[in-house]
Structure 1
Amino acid sequence: MQITVLIVPPFSTLCNAAFALRREVFVWEQKVPEEEENDADDLTATHFVAIAMGEVVGTLRLIDKPEHVKIGRVAVRQLFRGHGIARTLINAAMDHAKAKGRDRFYLTAQSDKLGMYEKLGFVAFGPEFIDGGMPHRAMRSYDV
């Protein structure tokens, strides 16, 4: 399956499709409260979409902070999971940040997804916590 990853401006047509996908995955499927899904970071984040078969099938955002780049809101449409879309998105986003001189990455992963992030070089730290009604762990990846 051919996957195209694009950076899209907030509230563009493709970014709005990404927001709809996030609502589909987080609010409808995973029952995250809608008021927790969108936040002010959406206005300043760098948004990425994965396009396959002519539609947005994955998304994530990068939030540039002084201490690290935070990867968040990683979502893949249910029918397209298991095809490496999240991995492709994360690698593209990290490459984008590295091209700007950033090499410290942080995310909070749903606890049942730790293995996927570990394969990408992330290491969990700190205790498990609840976010959006689901257990999560903080993870980081630093290039050395």
Structure 2
Amino acid sequence: MNFADPERSRLMYDARREREKERKKERGARQAVCNDKGALMDSSGRGSIDATTEALATLSEYLERSLDAGASLILVRSRSEKSDVYLGDASEAQTDWRRCGVIQNAMVGKILEATNSGFNELTIGNQTYRFNRSFTQVADHGAVVFSPS
């Protein structure tokens, strides 16, 4: 890159700003279908909500429960089509965890695609969630752990 050419530098700067605007617009569109409680809304009138938005809304609901309980959210993957959802401390025995639901594995996959291993800061609706995502083993199943940060 030649920084001595002011015209080229300006064009590159403008292109980068346009990409940033597009990303913000996409994030805003995804957030527009979730309210601050994570409940799904269909404000667009399309009648269907894309799978990633639905997965993030579901994650939001369970993260709220996790925060209320002061515990980690633990998704225990199974070989069937569903994963069990628990609240608890992943370092304690599974018998000490509280089971609070079931999520389809396809949705768990979308949640994993939308988050990263390690620290995450994710805004869903008007709420920002900060958590660490890690993995553990439960019996002969893998588990994903979301711990509040």
Pick the TM interval, shorter chain: 0.3 to 0.5
Higher strand share: 1
Larger Rg: 2
After TM superposition, the score normalised by the length of structure 1 is: 0.34
After TM superposition, the score normalised by the length of structure 2 is: 0.33
